[in-house]
Structure 1
Amino acid sequence: MIREVGARHGHNAMVTAPDALTALLIEALATG
């Protein structure tokens, strides 16, 4: 999930703090 979200955000190898937090939030919502 995190890799897919990161790729959607910009295909950047380096993950920024905002992107990481967004990915965590998306996973949390997805898992419920």
Structure 2
Amino acid sequence: VESNSIRVEYYRWMQKELPDLQASALKQHKAPFY
């Protein structure tokens, strides 16, 4: 199913990018967590 593969890609992106986003947010102290 296409939506399933898109979801898999999304989770891969999240696992790869989210730690960096959280780290930068902690440094700035103003970006909210979603």
TM-score relative to the length of structure 1: 0.50
TM-score relative to the length of structure 2: 0.47
- Give 1 or 2 for the bigger CA radius of gyration: 2
